[in-house]
Structure 1
Amino acid sequence: MWQNLIKQILVVVLVAPLLTGCWDRLEIEDRAVILAIGIDKAKPGDEKENSNATHILKQDTETNKGLIRITVQIAIPGRIPLGTGGGGSESTAGGKPVWVLSSVGYTLEDALMNLQQQLADRLFFGHLRVIVLSEAVAKNGIENENDFFRRQPQVRRTVWMVVSKGSAADIMKATPQLERVPTLYLLATLEHAREMGKLPNIFLGVFFSASSAKGQEGILPYLDLKKESNIELAGMAYFKNDKMVGTSTALQIGHYMAMKEINPGGYSVLQEIPGEKTTAMFKTMHRKSRITTTIRNGNVHTIIKCQVEGDLTEKSNEKAFITRESLKMLEEKIQKDAEVGFEKFIQQTQKEGSDIFGFGEYVRATQPAYWNKEIKTKEAWEQKYKEMSVEVSMRVKIRRIGTKTE
């Protein structure tokens, strides 16, 4: 009898955990699903909107960096299109698929709590896809924003964080024609640029890793909103610690990807064919690169050997002949211009002490004794990076010139 009783107790103990079910479940209709967040500096007079939901006393002006304004896109249940067959106008879809709201606060969490005071549903960040920082916020420093997104367990590391040339709120309120959900259009812009070789894989997690490294700084996509709500990838914003210190051009993204051996190639350059009164378009298709660091007279010297292969996709004058000699001269011309462009881009970042290429990490890996004796810290490498000498060696190969040739 005791054996049967013990068996019954064991069965109850083993089955009980399986009967708990979703005890902490929360219906999706009871969540305010945030798809995108835009962060701007607040304007004078915006402090009147602060609901003081998180503090009692007036904030010390020396303690905080001033008010910020957040603009969020919240998904409206039942209006988000599912699949490719859910197209149509706003009237057929039952209205706009997102609700754009804004709030102010002294920190990001403060602003979100003030926003929560305006909503019946709980804020949910599990489907957050894009974070947009205005250029003013990025230059002022994003230490608070980095801290919040690192601590928030619902935020994925595959989220895109970008810097807007203008107001981040304008991008949140943009209405692109190719997609009913503005966040999905912005996400597609970044994802497709990455697939076409026009942007490196710089998710939020990648940015955090680069910013935390002793010998490297972080970069983010730099976007510009045009008149028709189309978004241009204008370059990259590069940082020093938590502050944005400069931007690159769109073509310099290609320079960065070439030095870092990131494929596929996606950028083209317009060059004049030597000896011919015509220009040709060279499109990069594949890149190879090798970076080595040595110590010369107590200073770091970096050697970059890069090989680029691509196609000749266009020439401006149809009557101009392309011979083997002119093709070789064109390759040499592209090589020289690329070497100059690479060196100028590196010097541009050296002025700000922002090593976005990770040369410092190469020094740490290959010259550990020198690093531990002469550098040791991130701050010391920022100064050493300014003094570092660079040697760039390029090799360009045109593999295809089209079906029409002489």
Structure 2
Amino acid sequence: MQNLIKKILVFLLIVPLLSGCWDRLEIEDRAVVLAIGVDEAKPGDEKETSNATQILNLNPRTNKRLLRITVQIAVPGRIPLGTGSEAGSPSGEKPVWVLSSVGYTIEDCLMNLQQQLADRLFYGHLRVIVLSEAVAKKGIQNENDFFRRQPQVRRTVWMVVSKGEAADIMHAMPQLERVPTLYLLATLDHAREMGKLPNNFLGVFFSQSSAKGQEGSVPYVQLKKESNIELSGLAYFRDDKMVGTSTALQIGHYMSIKEINPGGYSVMHELPSGTRVIFKATHRTSRITTTIQNGKVHVNINCQMEGDLEEKSDKHFSITNESLKKLEVKIERDAKQGFEKFIQQTQMDGSDIFGFGEYVRATQPGYWNKQVKTKEEWQRQYVDINIDVNMFVKIRRIGTKSQSRNLEVTERGSEEVD
């Protein structure tokens, strides 16, 4: 009897495994979305909508904002599988299909787009989300809500803000990559690897925006004439609205304060003699401390940078220990001014992208629980807090040409002593 019961239990455990892929969906039957661009629709574009989600006509007074979605859909059989000429699609055939749709929300746009497609939209391979600057400035609460709720969207997706229309980036055809989305993805990933961009994926942006003492930021890009894409800076937000942008060099300032390595930006400095030198930061360390002085938050930033002397414009400028020390002092002074200017810019916009508020929450809990409590209150206080920046710069390498010359001088000196 016991053996019979055991056999029945084993049979019952095996039965669920026999179901196999009963709900499978072949890849050829999916409309694989690689990139999504979000723009504001133009007057008259409401005629394009199929109203696939509306039972009754919406009140035009409460639905003034109309969106246009542009998507890149992978064409099965045309996606390149290697570097050889045999791999991927034949010449002349585009590997992606660019489509657009109009609606009042992201889901409304996509459902209207679904009415035009035979295959089901699939977002599991979505890699890039591009928001136009006009959309970002008016607020992306709807966009955040949709991408948070969509289980197929990965948190490692890049979300960027474009200076112009997002649709222009969706239609761009770069020469270095047969799949446009992969070129934009490579631009962002390689910038991160070279120390020119923080690791601000979609999930990181969600975490920053949800924090009480920090605001979110995403890459700010611009499409150039030859379909190449320039990383122009960071677009930073206050709540769900974009309130400002940084320059490309200020990305390096942000990464230094946040102690994000490696360093990748080179900065030109002009000496009193007129000589221009290029200093490239290679490693950064930062320490942020907070105190309460006279009832106000005081933030102190100690930032140390190590780097290389990449170039000098004047061949008569001699590199000695004394001149290097003077150059380090000059770089420290210029960097301090640049950091303070960028921080003051974010204070004017009320956007604490550095997370100073999170340091206050962690190190000054009594003050936070009594005087701040909410994100809205910290946004108000951030405008007036005192922030001091202290810079320490060390030049580690000066190049092989200068090293060889110094070596010759040293050898000559040793011969004379002998």
Q: Deviations over 1:297-330 (max 9, x none)?
A: 0000000000001000111122332222221111
Partner residue, 2:184: 186
Q: Quick one: distance in 2 between partners of 1:87 and 1:125?
A: 28
Aligned equivalent of 1:368, options 361, 365, 368: 365
Question: Is this contact kept in 2: 1:73–1:100, CA < 8 A?
Answer: yes
Partner residue, 2:207: 209
- Mapping of 1:30-109 within 5 angstroms? 30-85=29-84, 91-92=90-91, 95-109=93-107
Q: Quick one: distance in 1 between partners of 2:317 and 2:338?
A: 28
Point out where structure 1 has 5 or more consecutive residues left out of the alignment: none
Partner residue, 2:296: 299
SS at match of 1:343: helix
Q: Deviations over 1:187-213 (max 9, x none)?
A: 000000000000000000000000000
Change (3 A) 1:396 1:28: same
Question: Is this contact kept in 2: 1:273–1:326, CA < 8 A?
Answer: no
Change (3 A) 1:86 1:292: farther
Q: Quick one: distance in 1 between partners of 2:39 and 2:122?
A: 21
Question: Is this contact kept in 2: 1:134–1:163, CA < 8 A?
Answer: yes
Compare 286-295 and 327-336 and name the one that shifted more: 327-336
Aligned equivalent of 2:341, options 329, 334, 344: 344
Partner residue, 2:355: 358
Aligned equivalent of 1:167, options 158, 165, 168: 165
Aligned equivalent of 1:397, options 384, 394, 398: 394
Q: Deviations over 1:305-356 (max 9, x none)?
A: 0000100011112233222222111111110111111111111010111000
Q: Deviations over 1:160-186 (max 9, x none)?
A: 000000000000000000000000000
SS at match of 2:316: coil
Q: Deviations over 1:124-172 (max 9, x none)?
A: 0000000000000000100000000000000000000000000000000
Question: Is this contact kept in 2: 1:81–1:87, CA < 8 A?
Answer: no
Q: What is the one-letter code of the residue matched to 1:221?
A: P
Partner residue, 1:132: 130
Partner residue, 1:158: 156
- Mapping of 1:115-130 within 5 angstroms? 115-130=113-128
Q: Quick one: distance in 2 between partners of 1:352 and 1:323?
A: 43
Cα offset, 1:277, TM superposition? 3.2
Question: Is this contact kept in 2: 1:71–1:103, CA < 8 A?
Answer: yes
Question: Is this contact kept in 1: 2:81–2:87, CA < 8 A?
Answer: no
- Mapping of 1:326-345 within 5 angstroms? 326-345=323-342
State the TM-score, normalized to the length of structure 1: 0.97
Partner residue, 2:232: 234
Question: Is this contact kept in 1: 2:80–2:87, CA < 8 A?
Answer: no
Q: Quick one: distance in 2 between partners of 1:301 and 1:10?
A: 67
Change (3 A) 1:152 1:20: same
Q: What is the one-letter code of the residue matched to 1:373?
A: K
Q: What is the one-letter code of the residue matched to 1:273?
A: L
Partner residue, 2:246: 248
Question: Is this contact kept in 2: 1:104–1:114, CA < 8 A?
Answer: yes
Q: Quick one: distance in 2 between partners of 1:97 and 1:122?
A: 18
Q: Quick one: distance in 2 between partners of 1:254 and 1:314?
A: 19
Cα offset, 1:89, TM superposition? 9.1
Q: Quick one: distance in 2 between partners of 1:164 and 1:131?
A: 10
Q: Quick one: distance in 1 between partners of 2:3 and 2:254?
A: 72
Q: Deviations over 1:345-377 (max 9, x none)?
A: 111010111000000000000000100000000
SS at match of 1:83: coil
Partner residue, 2:221: 223
Q: Quick one: distance in 2 between partners of 1:104 and 1:115?
A: 8
Q: What is the one-letter code of the residue matched to 2:235?
A: A
Q: What is the one-letter code of the residue matched to 1:40?
A: D
Question: Is this contact kept in 1: 2:80–2:89, CA < 8 A?
Answer: no
SS at match of 1:79: coil
Partner residue, 1:110: 108
SS at match of 2:218: strand
Cα offset, 1:5, TM superposition? 4.1
SS at match of 2:345: helix
Partner residue, 1:322: 319
Point out where structure 2 has 5 or more consecutive residues left out of the alignment: 407-418
SS at match of 2:152: coil
Q: What is the one-letter code of the residue matched to 1:114?
A: N
Q: What is the one-letter code of the residue matched to 1:285?
A: T
Matched, 1:146 2:131: no
Q: Quick one: distance in 1 between partners of 2:189 and 2:211?
A: 25
Q: Quick one: distance in 2 between partners of 1:290 and 1:65?
A: 47
Q: Quick one: distance in 2 between partners of 1:171 and 1:70?
A: 12
Change (3 A) 1:210 1:62: farther
Compare 94-103 and 242-251 and name the one that shifted more: 94-103
Q: What is the one-letter code of the residue matched to 2:108?
A: D
SS at match of 1:404: helix
Cα offset, 1:221, TM superposition? 0.1
Q: Quick one: distance in 2 between partners of 1:339 and 1:60?
A: 53
Cα offset, 1:238, TM superposition? 0.4
SS at match of 2:274: coil
Question: Is this contact kept in 2: 1:239–1:245, CA < 8 A?
Answer: yes
Q: Quick one: distance in 1 between partners of 2:397 and 2:204?
A: 35
Cα offset, 1:65, TM superposition? 4.8
Q: What is the one-letter code of the residue matched to 1:166?
A: G
- Residues paired across the two proteins, number: 403
Question: Is this contact kept in 1: 2:77–2:89, CA < 8 A?
Answer: no
Question: Is this contact kept in 2: 1:196–1:266, CA < 8 A?
Answer: yes
Aligned equivalent of 2:284, options 287, 305, 311: 287
